[in-house]
């Protein structure tokens, strides 16, 4: 055996597949249900505090809105995003839903102010 | 039983609303200090203090609304205005920082003068109506408060949002912060101006949603701050 013989170098495989990134957490469809329940619980809470005459006016549009918001949230959770951006993605989605909710509420307040101003009550 | 629940439900609507708003503001200030300031090392403690002052002001108004005594209401509104001005000075410090401390001290003097003018020439005349505390502020007072919110609180909030978003290396979410703060400011102004039960409930609900988002944003910073190695 020759002492100075070159050691055989390991030959890299010609077609090494790219390192597989671990898949991010799979979107949870339960999130949509959670947000829907949360919004509905909020609606019930608000509805209990409202005078009876406003129940029919407010609850049904808000219910439709809640369903749309939940659908939007569910669609967003189905999008594939890198795992590292998942937290930011969920935050952005929540903020979108929250801002739409606040926008609708502010719209209702403005409508109420306008209605009472018009009737002179 | 119905009368009992009505008395402590609808008749104390203003008191419960102020109390829950105080809790929202207080929790937000606490989480901002512990989850954002302590982790990112940004010099934004004044921002937390401003919201603490606002939370205490809301708590004072809650007690006043529950009590209902006219003399106590006047005193509580004046105390709340003082706390609001103190919070505004801290917000101004967020905007100016250490660059111009003289200006900050001048703002302290200005706040004291404004409080004196409020007590002496524009004495508060609040009253309770259907369980709701109506501030019944004179037009110059209402304009001054609106100007303070628009010229100090909102820019300071936006400045803070940009700093925090930059600190966690997610500058793109600063616009989300700005939207939340703007919605919260509008909701707070509607809450303070509301004169009907329905408007009070809805504006409080809007504030609640805004502060839930802000508390969630603090939790986001906490989570991302750990990822970015800022402890």
State the pTM of this model: 0.71
What pLDDT score does B57 carry?
Answer: 94
| A14 pLDDT higher than 60 | no
Between the CA atoms of B181, B186, B189 and B190, what dihedral angle is there, to the nearest 10 degrees? -140
What pLDDT score does A105 carry?
Answer: 83
DSSP state of A97: H
Residues A45-76: pLDDT tens digits?
Answer: 565 565 555 555 555 556 666 666 666 666 66
Residues 6+ apart with CB under 8 A from B138: B122
Asked if the Cβ–Cβ distance from B183 to A46 is below 8 Å, we say no
Task: Please report the sign of the dihedral spanned by the C-alpha atoms of residue B218, residue B23, residue A111, residue B125.
Answer: negative
| A11 pLDDT higher than 60 | no
The span from the CA of A93 to the CA of A81, in Å, is: 13
Spell out the per-residue pLDDT of chain B, length 231, in tens: 444 444 555 567 778 888 888 998 999 999 999 988 988 888 899 999 999 999 999 999 999 988 888 889 999 999 999 999 999 999 999 988 777 778 888 999 999 999 999 999 998 888 887 777 878 778 888 888 878 887 898 889 989 988 888 888 888 788 888 888 888 878 877 776 776 777 777 888 888 888 889 888 888 888 876 554 444
Q: What is the ipTM of this complex?
A: 0.74
A41 touches B: beta carbon within 8 Å: no
| A25 pLDDT higher than 60 | no
A32: tokens are: 């949509």
Taking the CB of residue A114, how many other CB atoms lie within 10 A of it?
A: 10
Strands B132-134 and B127-129: antiparallel
Residues of chain B contacting A, Cβ within 8 Å: 9-10, 13, 170, 173, 176, 179-180, 183, 186-187, 190, 194, 196-199, 201-203, 205-206, 209-210, 212-213, 216-217, 220, 223-224, 227
The nearest alpha carbon in chain A to B219 belongs to A91
What pLDDT score does B13 carry?
Answer: 73
Asked if the Cβ–Cβ distance from B176 to A105 is below 8 Å, we say no
What pLDDT score does B83 carry?
Answer: 95
* DSSP secondary structure string for all residues of chain B: -HHHHHHHHTTTHHHHHHHHHHHHHHHHHHHIIIIIIHHH--S-HHHHHHHHHHHHHHHHHHHHHHH--HHHHHHHHHHHHHHHHHHHHHHHHHHHGGGGHHHHHHHHHHHHHHHHHHHHTS----EEETTEEE----HHHHHHHHHHIIIIIHHHHHHHHHHHHHHTT-GGGHHHHHHHHHHHHHHHHHHHH--SHHHHHHHHHHHHHHHHHHHHHHHHHHHHHHHTT--
Indicate the angle between helix axes A86-119 and B174-193, nearest 10 degrees: 30
CA B144 to chain centre: 16
Q: Which of A15-19, A91-95, B88-92, B193-197 has the lowest mean pLDDT?
A: A15-19
Q: Are B29 and B57 in contact (CB under 8 A)?
A: no
What pLDDT score does B16 carry?
Answer: 83
Helix, strand, coil content of chain A in percent (nearest 5): 70, 0, 30
Asked if the Cβ–Cβ distance from A98 to B197 is below 8 Å, we say no
The span from the CA of B91 to the CA of B82, in Å, is: 14
CA A79 to chain centre: 11
The minimal CB distance from B206 to the residues A91, A102, A112 is found for A102
B31: tokens are: 């989480």
Residues A98-118: pLDDT tens digits?
Answer: 888 888 788 777 777 666 665
Q: Between A and B, how many residue pairs show a Cβ–Cβ distance under 8 A?
A: 79
Nearest to B185 by CA among B159, B167, B158: B158
Q: Are B108 and B119 in contact (CB under 8 A)?
A: no
């Amino acid at each position: 055996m020759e002492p100075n013989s070159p050691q055989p170098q390991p030959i890299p495989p010609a077609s090494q597949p790219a390192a597989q990134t671990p898949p991010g957490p799979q979107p949870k469809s339960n999130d949509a249900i959670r947000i829907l329940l949360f919004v509905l619980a909020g609606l019930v809470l608000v509805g209990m505090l409202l005078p009876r005459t406003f129940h029919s006016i407010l609850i049904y549009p808000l219910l439709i809105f809640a369903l749309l918001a939940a659908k939007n949230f569910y669609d967003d959770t189905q999008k594939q995003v890198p795992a590292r951006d998942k937290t930011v993605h969920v935050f952005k989605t929540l903020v979108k839903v929250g801002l739409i909710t606040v926008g609708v509420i502010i719209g209702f307040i403005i409508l109420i102010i306008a209605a009472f101003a018009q009737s002179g009550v | 039983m119905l009368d009992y629940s009505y008395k402590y439900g609808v008749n104390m609507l203003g008191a419960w609303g102020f109390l829950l708003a105080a809790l929202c503001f207080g929790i937000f200030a606490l989480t901002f200090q512990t989850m954002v300031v302590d982790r990112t090392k940004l010099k934004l403690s004044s921002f937390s203090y401003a919201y603490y002052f606002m939370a205490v002001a809301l708590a004072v108004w809650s007690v006043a609304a529950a009590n209902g005594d006219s003399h106590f209401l006047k005193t509580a509104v004046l105390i709340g205005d003082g706390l609001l001005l103190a919070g505004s000075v801290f917000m101004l410090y967020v905007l100016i920082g250490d660059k111009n401390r003289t200006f900050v001290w001048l703002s302290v003097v200005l706040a004291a003068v404004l409080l004196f003018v409020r007590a002496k020439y524009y004495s508060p005349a609040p009253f309770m109506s259907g369980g709701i505390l109506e501030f019944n502020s004179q037009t110059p007072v209402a304009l001054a408060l609106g100007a303070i919110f628009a010229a100090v609180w909102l820019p300071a909030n936006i400045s803070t949002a940009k700093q925090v978003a930059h600190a966690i290396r997610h500058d793109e979410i600063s616009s989300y912060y700005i939207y939340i703060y703007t919605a919260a400011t509008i909701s707070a102004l509607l809450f303070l101006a509301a004169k009907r039960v329905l408007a009070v409930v809805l504006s409080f609900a809007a504030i609640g949603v805004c502060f839930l988002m802000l508390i969630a944003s603090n939790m986001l910073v906490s989570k991302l701050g750990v990822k970015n190695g800022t402890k």
